[in-house]
Structure 1
Amino acid sequence: MKVKVLCRNPDDYVRETKKDLPKVPRNYDPSLHPFEVPREYTRALNATKLERTFAKPFIAALEGHRDGVNCMAKHPKSLSTVLSGACDGEVKIWNLTTRKCTRTVQAHEGFVRGMCVRFCGTSFLTVGDDKTVKQWKMESPGYGEKEEPINTVLGKTVFTGVDHHWRDAVFATCGQQVDIWDEQRTCPMRSYTWGVDSISSVRFNPIETHILGSCAADRSIVLYDLRKPTPLKKMILEMRTNALCWNPMEAFIFTAANENYKLYTYDMRNMDAPVIVHMDHVSAVLDVDYSPTGKEFVTASFDKSIRIFPFSSGHSREVYHTARMQHVTCVCWSSDNKYILCGSDEMNIRIWKANASEKLSLLSPREKAAKNYNQKLKEKFQHHPQVRRIARHRHLPKSIYNQISEQRIMREARRKKDANRRKHSKAGAVPIVPEKKQHVVAVLE
């Protein structure tokens, strides 16, 4: 004889919070919820409005420099440490937790042109207008000790940039040429030249660490391999490139900040045309830095604003500015992917949130669930006209707004002129050149 026993789990019908209240059962059959999409659309609209309402990205300003901030460097091991160099030769080390300067070094006479932290974080390098490369301890000197560099190298010309290898005791400087130095030697191990113009910036690849790139005043971008005695490739653009940054997740991808208000993302294996052209700035782009995830990058511009671009998009998702902020000369993204720091002409370093409406305090489980649910709703309805309009709207300074309108008129006039020339010319006499190929003059190997 078979006996069937009914077994009921109390968790299926009793609430966790109050045991005396029964659970409300819910049937997820779509036919029983005919108004689910309209309800979710309303929630997505409200979530988008609240996101813009609570978008307050500015956190704090680090004040203390007596001249414009010219360069910045982040610590590879410490999230709370950042270094800044000013136009008066002064270097400051900041503690972001307390938002105070922990150490000040009079490093150079004249501008601090570049700085970087050693891969292990024990020391940092600076270059300046006084034709010297100096290596300093990260720790403050003891009581009674003088503030002196560990090593000083005197060069023949002015150094305009410096970057350290990600794994070895090797660093690169740029000026009239790109020099590769060993920390234990006072003369360069190798020097690279291609042309006669000065080089403004040099960056090591964080993944393929023997690869580095540089930007020169002759409008060129040059790539080098430490294993080879000569440069790899040279690409010449229509206008000068001010800085470049490698994607930390994709070894072959780098983004270049150009004088023509645009940024170009290139694949170093095929440099005939950029992968993506990023446009939104209305003045020269001076610096660029990738997020640790490699999905976004932040740019600093002469138009007194910074913008955040998705790696795969031609337009920015965010623009940050303040009434007092002047020309932004340098920018960096923190290693925890939460903050952005920028230095500008009016002697301030500003700290911003990477996500303007993000809550920085600890979230309860209920808040996390609500945040994730709202995020999915916004992604689901992101292409709806009303949701897209609210999500994209940004208040801009009057000067930037007017320049955007003026540039739109100029682009439209140029497009009409090309169309008229094409219409009244022989077939093929005025070819259609895509935006990606308009600014590359030549690629040399």
Structure 2
Amino acid sequence: MKVKVISRSTDECTRERSQDLQRVFHNFDPKLRTQEKAIEYIRAVSAAKLEKIFARPFIGAMDGHIDAVSCMAKNPNHLKGIFSGSMDGDIRLWDMASRRTVCQFPGHQGAVRGLTASTDGRILVSCGTDCSVRLWNVPSATMSVDSYDNSAKPLAVYVWKNAFWAVDHQWNGELFATAGAQVDIWDHNRSQPVNSFEWGKDTVLSVRFNPGEPNILATSASDRSITIYDLRMSSPGRKIIMRTKTNSISWNPMEPMNFTSANEDCNCYSYDARKLDEAKCVHKDHVSAVMDIDYSPTGREFVTGSYDRTVRIFQYNGGHSREIYHTKRMQRVFCVKYSCDASYVISGSDDTNLRLWKAKASEQMGVILPRERKKHEYMEKVKDRYKNQPEVKRIVRHRHLPKPIYKAASLRRIIVEADRRKEERRRAHSAPGSMPREPLRKKRIIAEVE
């Protein structure tokens, strides 16, 4: 005769990390849980409120420069190191963990306009308005903070005939490009440019190499143009002319064919390099010129710094910002960077400070226990499930804005609405088909040149 008995192990019936608490087993049958949706909705509202309560994005300021911070660069080989250059020619290497200067690179006589590090993290390249390019040896990441040399000497100094406005290093290569009166391609071992590109007579403001194709780079110039160059060709590739000037460009590291430009008209425009006749997405919310932009290593978000004294974080395909960061003392933001682990955002502003922010304002830093991680993941899922409910949507979208920015945004909405009404009335009193409708993705582009 066989007798069936219930047999369970002790590990299955007790919770982790405690041998005295009995594990509770739930039956998720909808017939037995009639109030499941109501309970989850309340949890979603609570999760949205708790996110606001624990939102403390500002971590600290790195003070040391005596003039405005004009540019920054990340070290791909050192997670907590960040380079910064200021308008008085001072270049510093910061340790973000201790938030203090660990090395200085003196030598520039004017404003430092561009900084970049090689892919292996051993060489730092700087350029400025003193018409010089300087190569520096970066201290090893394995050295302790106290063992760094306080100042370094340049490995090489290349003096040219024009001032420089930007510099960027090739991915997995030995070349770097400078922007100024023209685009110059340099080699580490040569004091003269190995190649030069020029399309027009205006100053080139920014230059960025493509992370997926090392021979392709994109530039923006003061003639409102965005140009794509190929080092394997003797002439420039493609060019578009917009209605306003582009201050900076950043390629998406996960989708190397796409890039986003920070424009003077308060918007950012995402383009596909293979199809430049219209933008893929227009990112709005700033109320003044966008000065700098940088993509997260994940390629899902990017951060922007603006002349309106705020830092905003956008989804790569989102029309409006996910987050806005500001402080009372922060002035016009000239440069922003995402950290190499996508956990932090660094901003450099006109008040001589670098500020360190969390990429997710309410994220819990430090070691998280497994049960805590499961709780956070559950709250995120519940909040995402009910994100379109009015109460949850209102709490998640709400952001406190400084009074000047709030008023400027209201005024900007009034102006945009007035322009829309004016265009509709003009179209209503014109011949049918004489005024074709153009979306904003196409309207801001004047011409495309092959």
Q: How many correspondences in the alignment?
A: 443
Q: Distance in 2 between matches of 1:49 and 1:338?
A: 22
Q: Which residue of 2 aligns with 1:98?
A: 98
Q: Which residue of 2 aligns with 1:198?
A: 203
Q: Which residue type is aligned with residue 377 of structure 2?
A: N
Q: Is 1:367 matched with 2:372?
A: yes
Q: Which residue of 2 aligns with 1:8?
A: 7
Distance change in 2, residues 1:119/1:350 (3 Å): same
CA contact 2:173–2:214 (8 Å) conserved in 1 = no
Offset of residue 433 of structure 1: 1.5
Offset of residue 419 of structure 1: 1.4
Q: Is 1:72 matched with 2:72?
A: yes
Q: Is 1:259 matched with 2:264?
A: yes
Q: Distance in 1 between matches of 2:149 and 2:244?
A: 51
For the residue of structure 1 that corresponds to 2:186, the secondary structure is: strand
Q: Which residue of 2 aligns with 1:119?
A: 119
Q: Is 1:170 matched with 2:169?
A: no
For the residue of structure 2 that corresponds to 1:116, the secondary structure is: strand
CA contact 1:12–1:23 (8 Å) conserved in 2 = no
CA deviations 1:364-398 (Å, max 9, x no partner) are 11111110000000100001011000000011011
Q: Distance in 2 between matches of 1:105 and 1:313?
A: 39
Distance change in 2, residues 1:23/1:218 (3 Å): closer
Q: Distance in 2 between matches of 1:358 and 1:26?
A: 29
CA deviations 1:305-328 (Å, max 9, x no partner) are 010000011100100000000000
Stretch deviating more after TM superposition (17-26 or 272-281): 17-26
CA deviations 1:148-193 (Å, max 9, x no partner) are 2111111111111111111111111111111111111111111101
Q: Distance in 1 between matches of 2:19 and 2:157?
A: 73
Alignment of 1:37-52 (within 5 A): 37-52=37-52
Q: Distance in 2 between matches of 1:144 and 1:117?
A: 19
For the residue of structure 1 that corresponds to 2:425, the secondary structure is: helix
Q: Is 1:312 matched with 2:311?
A: no
Q: Which runs of 5+ in 1 are unaligned?
A: none
Offset of residue 213 of structure 1: 0.5
For the residue of structure 1 that corresponds to 2:48, the secondary structure is: helix
CA contact 2:116–2:167 (8 Å) conserved in 1 = yes
Q: What is the RMSD computed on CA atoms of the aligned residues?
A: 1.9
Offset of residue 432 of structure 1: 1.5
Q: Which residue type is aligned with residue 10 of structure 1?
A: S
Offset of residue 143 of structure 1: 11
CA contact 1:75–1:82 (8 Å) conserved in 2 = yes
Q: Which residue type is aligned with residue 209 of structure 2?
A: F
Q: Is 1:347 matched with 2:352?
A: yes
Q: Which residue type is aligned with residue 322 of structure 1?
A: T
CA contact 1:14–1:20 (8 Å) conserved in 2 = no
Alignment of 1:43-442 (within 5 A): 43-139=43-139, 147-442=152-447
Distance change in 2, residues 1:303/1:122 (3 Å): same
For the residue of structure 2 that corresponds to 1:43, the secondary structure is: helix
Stretch deviating more after TM superposition (325-334 or 173-182): 173-182
Q: Distance in 2 between matches of 1:145 and 1:62?
A: 16
Q: Which runs of 5+ in 2 are unaligned?
A: 141-146
Q: Distance in 2 between matches of 1:145 and 1:429?
A: 67
Q: Distance in 2 between matches of 1:144 and 1:83?
A: 15
Stretch deviating more after TM superposition (265-274 or 432-441): 432-441
Q: Which residue type is aligned with residue 304 of structure 2?
A: T
Stretch deviating more after TM superposition (3-12 or 177-186): 3-12
For the residue of structure 2 that corresponds to 1:317, the secondary structure is: strand
Identity of aligned residues (%): 45
Q: Distance in 2 between matches of 1:244 and 1:325?
A: 23
Q: Distance in 1 between matches of 2:47 and 2:361?
A: 14
Q: Distance in 2 between matches of 1:331 and 1:22?
A: 50
What is the TM-score when the length of structure 1 is the normalising length? 0.96
Stretch deviating more after TM superposition (115-124 or 43-52): 115-124
Q: Distance in 2 between matches of 1:92 and 1:203?
A: 22
CA contact 1:113–1:127 (8 Å) conserved in 2 = yes
Q: Distance in 1 between matches of 2:191 and 2:331?
A: 39
For the residue of structure 1 that corresponds to 2:31, the secondary structure is: helix
Offset of residue 129 of structure 1: 1.2
CA deviations 1:249-269 (Å, max 9, x no partner) are 001000000001010000000
Q: Which residue of 1 aligns with 2:144?
A: none
For the residue of structure 1 that corresponds to 2:286, the secondary structure is: coil
CA contact 2:103–2:150 (8 Å) conserved in 1 = no
